[in-house]
Chains A and B, each alone.
Chain A
Amino acid sequence: MASAKPQTATANPEAGPRWAIESKGLNLWYGTFQALRDVDLQIKHGIVTSLIGPSGCGKSTFLRSCNRINERLGYVSTTGTIQVLGQDIYGPDISPIQVRRQVGMVFQRPNPLPLSIRENVLFGQHIHRDDRIPRAEADQLVERALREVLLWDRVKDRLGRKATSLSLEEQQKLCIARLLPMRPEILLMDEPCSALDPEATRAVEELIWELRGKYSILIVTHNMAQARRASDECVFMLLGRVIEHARTEDMFVTPKKPETADYIEGRFG
């Protein structure tokens, strides 16, 4: 399954599961506070889908449910289902660890581990494979992953340096690179540019666009302009519900719901 990279859904609809991510009747509570209400979403393969909406609308919560990283909090309960590549990830015999190999995540603040650049890229391999990887193979994995995020030429001479010594932009790219050796199908990004300056934001956005097609990307953003220029489809959420899900150009030009129009035009947020 990991070897067959899905094309876009329209190009190859019958290969593998229909949706990259599909949630049905998803409700989620933090303690007694309900953060998601009856969320039904279908995220397509191989495109960039952005989740937009005001703070507290549940967009990050939805994202963090897709790899079950939400469960770290301990007081989270859910009903309904999320299927990732056709698998119910909340099913009884599924472990979050398996899910997280298929579904990579990039966080708001770049969070490289306090290890070398090289060790960061290989971290996933080291924890998921019992045998040691041969040196040559490891070198290859590192180079391929760093090339894919356009970082190789900049860091190839200092792979042994601490990852935390890189600039924020480089750190964030490294955080994307370290997901790739595990061959994830899906990349979740939680406001990946919000800690970056405009120049770095542009660079990371370009990278995301570059990765489009190879991965299904779901990205949470506060930045309307970013959603508009860097996503194929757009999901607008409000108070834990999905209000509208449409192609990005349609949503920004002719929103169907009045709430969407209000939000896009900046009447609240």
Chain B
Amino acid sequence: MTAPPPKTRISAAQAFDRRDSAWWLDRVAMMLVFTGGISTILFIGAIFLFIATQGLDFAATRLAWSEFFGSIAWRPNGHPPQYGAVALIAGTASITGIAMFVVVPFSLGAAIYIGEFARGRRREWLKILIELLAAIPSVVWGVIGLHVIGPAMTQIFGVPSGLNLLNAGLILGLMAAPIMTTIAEDSLKAVPDAYREAAEALGANKWQVVWRVVLPHARPGLSAAVLLGVGRAFGETIAVLMASGHAINLPTSLFDPVRTLTATIAAELGETAKGDDHYQALFVLGVLLFGITFAINLTADSIVRGIRRKKA
């Protein structure tokens, strides 16, 4: 603990001082990158806070939760206004369910084909096409639902309206296909090739390799792919608004029109006065939606993380 003479200490400090332009540049770059990284968290937090506070007053004092989670009647302009969200939740859930029923087999099939069977050019083309599918704006999907699938459905099934649960489910399924296929294919690609080689050397044919070795090993990644697809479907708005019929209804058949949480917010928010009960109720729906999609994505993400950790 005997301090050296101050004179030598200062000169030593000067000798080790490396605060040149590269040092400063490094500092600035680090700050910029840090800001970028931290900003996503800030944005998410800010958005959630905004949504939550907009509806807070209403949710805390005037909203009857038993009605919100117990009634199908969503009549914000009625006398008295009613805020039952059950039909909306059911609408979102049923459309998502139909979409998954349609898209999961297709997406996983496509991923297996691209990842395990297709070779060379064909594989590259398929990957590009699927990514292109993701680039189609959702309003275009809405138009397809409105003017192609809708009329086709009335013709084929003879139902009064082609805008219904099945229509929206089909559209949503097609929209969720790219992300599901891409992530599923990634998780197939992550299966070490040594496993395939080992199985083939034991005389397994291509399908046996896929079924007995690749798919079991890729299962967590495939479930993450499905969950991310669900998240995508849950949050989709405009295409669903256009194709679903937008009627408050507990669906009992595939051809019933339904209404979703997202479409309700999109359609009604413009008509409300900022801060009134209707406005705030829509924000409560928003919080509900945010919570559900957040939970789905978090689950998917933790599955993917779990895979990475196991591999490391």
| Chain A interface (Cβ < 8 Å from any Cβ of B) | 67, 69, 72, 74, 97-98, 100-101, 104-105, 107, 109, 111-115, 123-124, 126-128, 175, 178-179, 182
Contacts of B119 in A (CB 8 A): 74
User: Contact size class for B?
Assistant: 10 to 19
Would you mind naming 20 contact pairs between A and B with Cβ atoms under 8 Å apart?
A: A67-B201, A69-B200, A69-B201, A97-B203, A97-B204, A100-B203, A104-B202, A107-B194, A107-B197, A111-B194, A111-B197, A113-B195, A113-B213, A114-B213, A127-B199, A127-B203, A127-B212, A128-B203, A178-B202, A182-B202
Instruction: Determine whether B189 belongs to the interface, using a CB cutoff of 8 Å to chain A.
Output: no
B209 to A, closest residue via Cβ = A127
| Chain A residues closer than 8 Å to B197, beta-carbon distance | 69, 72, 107, 111
- B217 contacts chain A at the CB level, 8 A cutoff: yes
Q: Which residues of A contact B199 (CB under 8 A)?
A: 113, 123, 127
Task: Indicate with 1 or 0, residue by residue over B176-204, a CB within 8 angstroms of chain A CB atoms.
Answer: 00000000000000000011111111111
A124 x B203 contact (CB < 8 A): yes
A97 touches B198 (CB 8 A): no
Neighbour of A100 across the interface among B194, B201, B212, CB < 8 A:
B201
Nearest-CB residue, chain A, relative to B205: A97
Q: How many cross-chain pairs have Cβ atoms below 8 Å apart between A and B?
A: 59
A178 vs B195: C-alpha distance when bound (angstroms) = 14
What is the CA–CA distance of A104 and B199 in the complex, to the nearest angstrom? 11
The 9 nearest A-B residue pairs measured at CB:
A100-B203, A111-B194, A111-B198, A105-B201, A101-B203, A127-B204, A97-B203, A124-B202, A127-B208
Residue of B nearest to A74 (CB): B119
Q: Is the CB of A182 within 8 A of B201?
A: no
Contact yes or no, A113 B198, CB < 8 A: yes
Whether B195 lies near A111 (C-beta < 8 A) is yes
Chain A: which residue is nearest B119 at the CB level?
A: A74
A266 to B197, CA, bound (A): 33
Interface centre among B119, B198, B201, B204 (most CB of A within 10 A): B201
Contacts of A123 in B (CB 8 A): 199, 202, 204, 212
Question: Quick check: is B275 within 8 A (CB to CB) of the other chain?
Answer: no
Q: Flag whether B216 is at the interface (Cβ < 8 A).
A: yes
